[in-house]
Chain A
Amino acid sequence: MGSVAAHAQSPEQDASDAPEWYEREGSDEGWASPTERPPSPPPSAAEDDDASEPRLAVTPAPSDTSAPSVAAADVAPDDDGFRSGFFFGSYGRVSAASNLRGGLGRNANITAFHPRIDEDLYFEIELRRQDQFSENVRSIVVATVAFGGEFFHLNGDFNENVAVRNLYAEVQNALVSNLSLWAGSRMWRGDDIYLLNFWPLDNINMIGGGLDYRALDEKLDLRLAVGLARPDDPFHRQVTGVVANSGFLPHDVVILDRPRITAAAKATFFPFGRRVRTGAKVLVYGEGHFLPRGERELEFGLREIMPYDSGMVLGGQIGGWQVSNRAFVNLFFRHARGLGAYNPLGVPFRTGGVQTTERARETIVGLSGNYELGAFGLQLGAYYRYFRDADPNIFDRSALAEGAVNVRPHVWIGERAGLSLDLAYQALQASALDERTGRVVRGGVTKIGFIPFYSPFGRGTFTRPHLRLIYSMSIRDQGAQALYPTEDPRSRTAVEHFLGVGAEWWFDSTSYGF
């Protein structure tokens, strides 16, 4: 996760708006793992029965909870809020915007993770079946379908970009109390930095399985997951046609087939308990990545050994919350080496003969927070990232440091309408020089935005849906302009406007805050 191209090609973030070199020189190739999700409120907030939380958008109806009922649409929640039945959840954002120059509004970002005020279209729908059995055994089957890129009403194309982001079954209280097991295809992720649309720590897409065990009166939460991914690209899989033993049509032979195995573990400790109004949490996190040796054919009739590769991630997070002010703060740290610095769904190398990721490094520090007081609120998101790719050259546009900081104060006008001011700055510096100017490759973008919004659920930073008017002005410095090819109008445009109308919603979606 977290690599340049991972961002650039993620479905919910506009790859085309990143500078061309940035995409090309990036370290990943496949679709990125981060999907657009609702923010991850602090555990207490997520489990608090605050009426303003939108997650129970569908009104529960009484039903028998002692046995599975395929007919039941909704049943009454159990003591801990579990309900049996069919459920529908969704996340989405849709906007129509102009750049005030006759074109579509589009983002003006240069960093891998960036302020989301001018983000692009994305939505997902979750279909879920939940059942409770005897001895408190429960099952959850989740299917999440996501849509990214441009939609039919924008481009007239009846085909959408669709991905299955979740397809798994989970059993709770399996074998022993407080033990959950799951298997299937799943997004595996923790807390995010909402303003930057960024999961700095755990954010894995895999097919596999895992477990979750809560101990010490639920003060300790242990999670493990193991899975694999084998993207259909020449780094992981190669199929070549050969003459069949008989007949006319060629026979396909799999030459290279090496899935990348990822194992992840997370331990979260709540020193004051999970269900307190003022609390804290500390977590440690780790990943191991393993890619078997393989062999593939080159275009010149030669064969090439793809050596064994591996990587790791170590990280941590500390955070705290206060329900009364809907306040929380999370500080993230992540350090990755080797394969761990690259998205499991991507190809570390797009060009060149580098074959192992041994030299790759990534370090991320992130911060997110929220504070609300009466009619006022303030959101914060920031990150710093240092990334060095795997080739031996120390000078490289793929070796960079970058960061962004975004603050969004808002004021409520009445109970359901409000106005946000969005202030952000993002910058990057690569370990490279601009060939035309001889200067260091670096740039910065400052954003100033205003978001009048209407929230039918009323006050609260994370109440949704929101209907919004959005205006954002992005100001590129000369370095940021120089990141684009000179043929690109953005290389000559210091100021970018984004004026539009949009909506964002989420409700009853399980696939975040795992």
Chain B
Amino acid sequence: MVVRQHQLRLLIAVLAVAACVDGELADVRTQPIATHVDDWRDEVIYQLLTDRFANGDPGNDHRVDPSPATLARYKGGDYQGIIDNVDYLEELGVTAIWISPIVLNVDADAGFDGYHGYWQVDLERLNPHFGDLATLRQMIQVCHSRNIKVILDIVTNHLGQVFYYDINRNGRPDEWLSGGYPTNPGDPQAPAGTPVTRITEYDPDWDPRGVQSVTSLGESGPAPIRFFDMPEIFRVPPRPAIFQRFEVYNRRGKVVDWNVREQVVLGDFPGGLKDIDTTRQDIRDEMVRIFSDWVLKLDLDGFRIDTIKHVEHEFWEDFARRVRERLAAAGKNNFLMFGESFGGGDALDGSYTMPGQLDSVFYFTQKYVVYRDIFGAGGATSAIDRLLADRAVNYGSTPQDLGIGIPPQEALVNFVDNHDVPRFLWETPDRRKLHAALAYLFTQQGIPCIYYGTEQDFAGGNDPGNREPLWESGYRRDGETFRWIARLTRVRREYAALRRGDFTLRWTTDRTGDAVDAGIIAFDRVYEGQYALVVINAQGDHTSETRSPEGEAMMVGATAGTVLVDVLSGDRFTVGAGGELTISVEALGSRILVPEDQFQG
């Protein structure tokens, strides 16, 4: 009888425990995997820093510094904040968000916080500042229900500052000045002393042999590394356990010359971010497993991959292929992987999109050639010709196997600004120029990506000035820039040619200043019988026309007699004989023209 009573009580307890909180977890207990993207060129990416977008859960505001002056500290944004503001994204016309790295980071280092997510310490645990797994799943579900995809920022190149080089082998991290020792006191020709250098065990300079131990008597072999043990700020031996082995790090110190490829690939990222030896197959296996697992746990739609130029190409060939295979086997296709190769140059950036590697990269060259020099500084628009010519050579021209099905050349991720560069309005404090640049962003070939806060006219300078909390804007939706972006995304959504169409430049010019066509960028796009012509005047001094000073008119792809309607103004133009078309565009104005029979009003 006693046993029966026990069993009964046990059963009651189990049922009662299981009943109550299970309901709350019902929708997130599992995360079905599906392909949510048809064609990535249809998407509008919105890059947000999770810590800065919206604070929906004050319960995770640990160590949050509310001062607006301290942008290098945690501010409180989280996944709940994204859930709460999905309407905002939808109204802006966003169809994909790129969120900060989700994994556990070193919380603080030298007075700075790991709010950005690039100081990872445990690749299998979430950063609790942003929320928990269930909330993250719910956020992704909410986004998917609004047809908003979710792209995760990942890092394979390095971890946070999880260890120091014990250069003097005293078992603690030190910084000191070394040198000044007499070289040969008996020799009057000898230097008075050895050079004085600053040595930091946190982030020592590059040494091709590996960071060396040093004493007053000289070098004494490779410096051992020691992991920190500061669990209160997550500054602990990294995980999974393979990252607790010294041999999985390159241990050569930080990059000091960005032009030396060996340093770029093998050196620590400045700030003490420890470079992982990604040539090791066991590391590659772990990276594939860990990040594929996150996709399968969360139903993610893409990776934005950090610091790809600091990792050898062979890694990407291995990583990209196996991630795609694993995800495809689970039913996830069209998974976008695009990388960040900041400062690498066009050829190097494009090299990561060659067959077998990534689907796309951040189009940094364009950022400078077009958005900074043309829209920002009023440079000649003919630079775009050269840029596109280089693109045809430097970037992959065939879709990746099991990739997104689009040649990388046509799927580059275009951006006006991002978290690594000053905001457009900081460098060019002219909202009209920003609007002209945005017109190009949303009509050119590729995938547009807007950086959070651009829609609110944020104008921060270099990191961290460009990482303002979005809530300081009040999430206003009636601002000019917000409305302009919302309008452009709607137009892009309505006209497939603007998303998927072949791209043909119709007019650029070497002329600037008072020239009749100064600032003109004109291109048309054709997709399955649909046509769009875009004409932008990138300079702000006068109205320009699509003709040369000598009277040569622009030739477009539409046939003679076609009536084109400017979807922004309603103005109508008729294509002349042979496809000639002269259109005037006011300073920093834009025209997006479609055939009258395709015009959607």
Contact = CB atoms under 8 A, between A and B. Distances in A.
Contacts of A351: 59-62
B13 A394 contact: no
Contact of B135 (A302, A393, A429, A444): A393
Interface stretch (B2-10, B218-226, B300-308): B2-10
A118 B266 CA distance: 54
Contact of B17 (A354, A394, A429): A429
Interface string B168-191: 000000000000000000000000
Q: Which of B14, B21, B57, B126 gathers most chain A CB within 10 Å?
A: B21
Interface in B29-58: 29, 31, 56-58
Interface residues of B, number: 45
Nearest to B30: A438
Q: Is the interface of A mostly helix, strand, loop or mixed?
A: strand
Given A302-B67, A395-B134, A435-B126, A400 B56 contact: no
Contact of B16 (A389, A394, A401): A401
A432 interface: yes
A382 B126 CA distance: 35
Nearest to B23: A431
Contact of B9 (A302, A355, A382, A401): A382
Q: Which of B14, B24, B31, B66 gathers most chain A CB within 10 Å?
A: B24
A232 to B, nearest CB: 21
B297 A378 contact: no
A395 B18 contact: no
Contacts of B58: 352-355, 391-392
Contact of B13 (A302, A378, A403): A403
Closest 4 CB pairs of A and B: A391-B59, A395-B134, A353-B58, A405-B9
Contacts of A300: 65-67, 70
Nearest to B10: A425
Interface residues of A, number: 51
A154 interface: no
Contacts of A409: 2
Contact of B21 (A380, A391, A429): A429
Interface string A408-446: 010000000000010101111111111110101010100
Q: Is the interface of B mostly helix, strand, loop or mixed?
A: helix
Contacts of B19: 401
5 contacts: A401-B18, A401-B19, A403-B13, A433-B25, A433-B29
A440 B25 contact: yes
A176 interface: no
Contacts of B70: 300
A407 B9 contact: yes
Contacts of A400: 21
Contacts of B76: 353
Contact of A433 (B13, B22, B133): B133
Given A352-B62, A405-B10, A436 B124 contact: yes
Q: Which of A395, A428, A436 gathers most chain B CB within 10 Å?
A: A395
A325 to B, nearest CB: 16
Contact of B132 (A349, A423, A433): A433
A145 B17 CA distance: 37
A407 B2 contact: yes
Contacts of B10: 405, 425
A395 to B, nearest CB: 3
B500 interface: no
Contacts of A432: 25, 132-134
B61 A353 contact: yes
B13 A434 contact: no
Interface in A297-350: 298, 300-302, 349
Q: Which of A352, A435, A442 gathers most chain B CB within 10 Å?
A: A435
A151 interface: no
B80 A392 contact: yes
Interface in A66-82: none
Contacts of B539: none
A381 to B, nearest CB: 10
Interface string A345-385: 00001011111000000000000000000000010101010
Nearest to B79: A393
A301 B138 CA distance: 36
A354 to B, nearest CB: 5
B21 A401 contact: yes
Given A403-B13, A433-B137, A442-B18, 7 more contacts: A300-B65, A351-B61, A352-B58, A378-B2, A380-B5, A393-B80, A403-B16
A353 B64 contact: yes
A298 B125 CA distance: 29
A2 to B, nearest CB: 16
Interface in B434-486: none
B389 interface: no
Given A384-B16, A403-B13, A403-B16, A429 B2 contact: no
Contacts of A390: 59
Nearest to B131: A393
Contacts of A392: 56-59, 80
Given A352-B61, A391-B57, A393-B80, A431 B2 contact: no
A425 B7 CA distance: 10
Contact of A395 (B16, B24, B297): B24
A397 B134 CA distance: 10
A228 interface: no
B125 A436 contact: yes
Nearest to B76: A353
A351 B125 CA distance: 19
B226 to A, nearest CB: 18
Contacts of B60: 351-352, 391, 393
A492 to B, nearest CB: 13
Contacts of A435: 124-126, 132-133
Nearest to B236: A487
A285 interface: no
Q: Which of B13, B14, B80, B137 gathers most chain A CB within 10 Å?
A: B13
Nearest to B19: A401
A369 to B, nearest CB: 11
B66 A431 contact: no
Contacts of A302: 66-67
Contact of B6 (A349, A353, A423): A423
Contacts of A429: 17-18, 20-22
Nearest to B67: A300
Contacts of B5: 380, 407
A46 to B, nearest CB: 26
B12 interface: yes
Contacts of A193: none
Contacts of B505: none
Contacts of B18: 401, 429, 442
Contacts of A444: 14
B28 interface: yes
A354 B137 contact: no
A14 interface: no
A404 B13 CA distance: 6
B19 to A, nearest CB: 7
B59 A399 contact: no
A15 B135 CA distance: 28
Nearest to B293: A438
Interface string B546-590: 000000000000000000000000000000000000000000000
A430 to B, nearest CB: 7
Interface in B117-144: 124-126, 131-135, 137-138
Nearest to B127: A435
Given A401-B21, A440-B25, A395 B66 contact: no
A433 B124 CA distance: 13
Contacts of A442: 17-18
Interface string A34-62: 00000000000000000000000000000
A378 B126 CA distance: 47
A393 B21 contact: no
A17 interface: no
Contacts of B135: 393, 395
